[in-house]
Amino acid sequence: PAWAFVIQAASAAVKSCEAGILFKTFTIWAFKQILWALHYFAKVAYSATTWLLYQKSKKGTAISRTYNGEEYTVGIYETLVQHDGWNHDALGVINSNMIKQHTQMRKELQNRHQDITNDVNQYTTCIANYLGTEIISRFPDTTVGPLNSLCRQLLGLTDRRRLEDGTEVHSDAPFNIDVSWGDKSIVMQQQTSMEMERDILEKEDSIMEAQRRIENRLGINCGNSRCEQEEANINCPQDCAEAEFIALSTNESMATGFTKLKFTIHAKRKVAISALSFFTKDALEESYVKIRTMQGIYPQTMFSLDKDWQDVLSTKVPTTEYNGGTVAPVKFEFNHGIQITVDGGKCQSFEVYSDSGIMVHMSGNMTETDMVYEDDALQIFTGRGIDGHSPKPIQFNGVIGYDGLARVPEISMSNSQGSIAADQASAAELVLEQEIKSAKRKITAIQRKVGQIDVLSTKLSALDDKISAKLSAQDDKVSAKLSALDVKMSAIEGMLAQLLEKNER
């Protein structure tokens, strides 16, 4: 900008003036040293001459007897001493006067340059304050305080005289823009927009979760091979009808077979379990397989009452030998199409028996009832293997077949055995309809907030255009004023050059 150029020019002029003064001062000092050297050599020559004359006057020659050389020498010495004192005093006065003159001139030049720098800085600050007040005053619902008297005086915006130094109050300093923002001002609107955006970002996870639930309810995500919480076998049979909970280790092989084992599953949602699949140790043409179940966690004692368990499968089927998982596990569906309904948050235990041996996984750091596998619907815990010896912690490795919120025929069972009941379609549809309505209301509220943000964005764009136009006009005015200031600075530099020429003369 032009004002920066003016400041640089003024600084260069000050440095040039200071360099000239230093050069003249050095020249005077060198001249003074030469004069002192000449004076010193004159005194030495005078002393030598006096000594020679004195020696000649002491000799007993005819000339010395007829001429009183000693008195002549004394007279010459006194005359030279007087001349030396006069020269010394004269040179001291000249040197002192020159130093005082140059010191005073340098001080005045520095003060003047400092005044010019201060005026330029104040003018620049006042221009910025004036532009700021003009721009901010155009904002809606914005109140701007008056420009201080110093800036009004510098910018020629008032006819009042400038106050003397030290009489202006603190609030009248040039570095001051008094602004108050109303509720409808652009700053407050922007702050409101930022708060809304921050609120939306903070609720992003809940919004995404609500969107996922809405998509699940509407069936948008149906077919992704995951039976999610909002999906069921009636509205998404692709994912929730005959779904599978796979509890097979992918990096560890099974090397132990038990004829009898127990394990517990925990339902994260309401499911209806219909089958178990697992590997068998031996290949038998008629292997006896029996599966029992009970509600809750099985007792961790050596013996438990048979009345707590209910038979869901008792059959003889051919089994295949486990060979490192090269064959598929054998699937065992419950008798008569029974589906064991487990409510969300509840546990269900199973006891599996097979005389061909059930392949499981074991390790030394296992603890019974530790959770080992889970998905969106089920969790399975470390169970117990029973094979004629003391029970050992084992991991059931197999597949559990289930339906999400399954519709099954109702079968009466005791409370301790678990409920086997049907979900009513009408109730499920009513819940689904209510959740869809709630989701639609949330979507409408979000769209309303997005619309408000769009309107505010449009207002900000229009205001930005107005501010750009105003700044362009103010830049032209500032350029004109800085050009005038540049002319004044050029005149000041000319005056400084004239002062330097006079000083050199």
| Mean pLDDT value of segment 254-277 | 88
Place of tokens 């003391």: 390
Neighbours of 2 (CB within 10 A): 15
Has residue 60 got a pLDDT over 60? no
Q: Which residue has the higher pLDDT, 86 or 491?
A: 86
As a whole number of angstroms, the distance between CA 233 and CA 219 comes to: 11
pLDDT in tens, 82-127: 898 899 999 989 999 999 999 999 888 888 888 888 888 888 888 8
Q: Is 145 helix (H, G, I), strand (E, B) or coil?
A: coil
Picking from 406, 423, 446, 437, the residue whose alpha carbon sits closest to that of residue 214 is 437
The answer to whether the beta carbons of residues 436 and 218 sit under 8 Å apart is: yes
pLDDT in tens, 136-158: 777 777 778 887 788 877 777 76
As a whole number of angstroms, the distance between CA 351 and CA 298 comes to: 9
pLDDT computed for residue 474 by the predictor = 67
7-35 burial, b at 16+ Cβ within 10 Å, e below that, comes to beebeebbeebeeebeebeeeeeeeeeee
Give the rounded distance of the alpha carbon of 16 from its chain centre: 48
For the chain, what are the domain ranges? 2-137+142-176, 237-422
As a whole number of angstroms, the distance between CA 12 and CA 114 comes to: 13
Q: What percentage of the chain has pLDDT greater than the value 70? A: 71
Give the rounded distance of the alpha carbon of 477 from its chain centre: 39
How many CA atoms does the CB half-sphere of 61 hold within 13 Å?
A: 10
- Rounded to 5°, the CA angle 310-313-317 comes to 155
Has residue 411 got a pLDDT over 50? no
| Mean pLDDT value of segment 453-469 | 69
Q: Is 282 helix (H, G, I), strand (E, B) or coil?
A: coil
Highest average pLDDT, of 270-279, 382-391, 407-416, comes from 270-279
| Mean pLDDT value of segment 160-177 | 49
Has residue 229 got a pLDDT over 50? yes
pLDDT computed for residue 262 by the predictor = 92
Q: Please give the DSSP secondary-structure letter assigned to residue 223.
A: T
Question: Among 12-16, 161-165, 249-253, where is mean pLDDT lowest?
Answer: 161-165
Q: Which CATH class is domain 237-422?
A: mainly beta
Q: What is the DSSP string of 290-301?
A: EEEEEESPPP-S
Q: Please give the DSSP secondary-structure letter assigned to residue 156.
A: T
pLDDT computed for residue 504 by the predictor = 63
| Mean pLDDT value of segment 174-193 | 72
pLDDT computed for residue 169 by the predictor = 45
